[in-house]
Amino acid sequence: MLICPICGNNLKRGEKTYVCEKNHNFDIARQGYVNLLPASFKKTADPGDNAEMVNARHSFLSAGYYSVLSLFIADYIKNNFVSPVIIDAGCCEGYYSECVKNEVQKAEIFAVDISKNAVKKGSSVYKNIMFLVSSVFNLPFSDSSADIIMRIFAPIALQEYKRVLKSDGTLIEVVPGIKHLKELKDILYDNVRLNPEPENCRAGFELINSHEIISKIHIFGNENIENLFAMTPYFYTTDIKGKEKLNNIDELDVTGDFVVNFYKKM
């Protein structure tokens, strides 16, 4: 189901490369991932999350702080599919992909992210997932080839989702609820705004279910608190004074407010 990101022809796997009929070659990295990101989709030399953000996210998620979300998604897929083809679009280091694979062992999962740092990390840790460096706006998959696309706190690319999903395909989308991480923002900022009300209308898709998960999460240890901060957009929008407020905090209770929307392709 993989296609060449340059010409769109099918890719065939060789011993060390993927190649299409027009002889475009893509090396298989030592860790097992393949870089299918054309230069035209790079806005910087090293797009996506940097190594610091990737390592912070991996450490935080691996500690199980968001397990209530990952298990909810995995259980839904387990109860509704037998051997689905899944694309984790904007996967970072693949934590959610691995959680699903553990519960749905017959699933074939492709984890896609524009960050080479993220994909390299994920393919080093999770060996049952196929990792690809690619943009979600140019997914390297043939038309109507996936049963499920997971979009978890990632950029949205509805046209590509619709192209790649099968006629009865499912889009699983996770977005922050209005109170998500409010307590962290209370520390960082003087004037805190709640998150906007999540959208649940997507062109070309029918909403079939929506579920909000609200969980109080107790974070122990300053390193874990700093890791949470580093994996959020606030890391880039908080001034030095705000960042310094986290330095001496060793325990923090935050609200995990996750809105999970399930859509069918129309």
Domains and CATH numbers, the chain: 12-265 (3.40.50.150)
CA distance 259 to 73: 11
User: What is residue 151's predicted lDDT score, i.e. its pLDDT?
Assistant: 98
Which residues lie below 8 Å from residue 82, measured CB to CB, with a gap of 6+? Answer: 106
User: What is residue 174's predicted lDDT score, i.e. its pLDDT?
Assistant: 98
The predicted-structure confidence for 85-94, as pLDDT tens digits, reads as follows 999 999 999 9
User: What is residue 116's predicted lDDT score, i.e. its pLDDT?
Assistant: 96
User: What is residue 236's predicted lDDT score, i.e. its pLDDT?
Assistant: 87
Which residues lie below 8 Å from residue 168, measured CB to CB, with a gap of 6+? Answer: 264, 265
pLDDT category of residue 20 using cuts at 50, 70 and 90: very high
The predicted-structure confidence for 45-101, as pLDDT tens digits, reads as follows 889 999 999 999 999 999 999 999 999 999 999 999 999 999 999 999 999 999 999
Inter-residue contact 94 to 126 (CB < 8 Å): yes
Tokens of 156: 């949205």
> Could you tell me how far CA 2 lies from the centroid of its own chain?
19
pTM: 0.96
User: What is residue 175's predicted lDDT score, i.e. its pLDDT?
Assistant: 97
Q: Is the pLDDT of residue 42 over 90?
A: no
The predicted-structure confidence for 106-156, as pLDDT tens digits, reads as follows 999 999 999 999 999 999 999 999 999 999 999 999 999 999 999 999 999
Work out the average pLDDT over 17-22: 96
- Phi first, then psi, for residue 220 (nearest 5°) are -110, 130
Work out the average pLDDT over 167-181: 97
Neighbours of 120 (CB within 10 A): 21
pLDDT category of residue 43 using cuts at 50, 70 and 90: confident
Half-sphere exposure of 212 (CA within 13 A, CB side): 12
User: What is residue 40's predicted lDDT score, i.e. its pLDDT?
Assistant: 82
Tokens of 62: 């691996």
Q: Region of 109 please: left (phi>0), alpha (psi -120 to 50) or beta.
A: beta
User: What is residue 171's predicted lDDT score, i.e. its pLDDT?
Assistant: 98
CA distance 265 to 92: 24
Average pLDDT, the chain: 96
User: What is residue 218's predicted lDDT score, i.e. its pLDDT?
Assistant: 98
User: What is residue 92's predicted lDDT score, i.e. its pLDDT?
Assistant: 96
Work out the average pLDDT over 243-249: 94
Q: Is the pLDDT of residue 44 over 90?
A: no
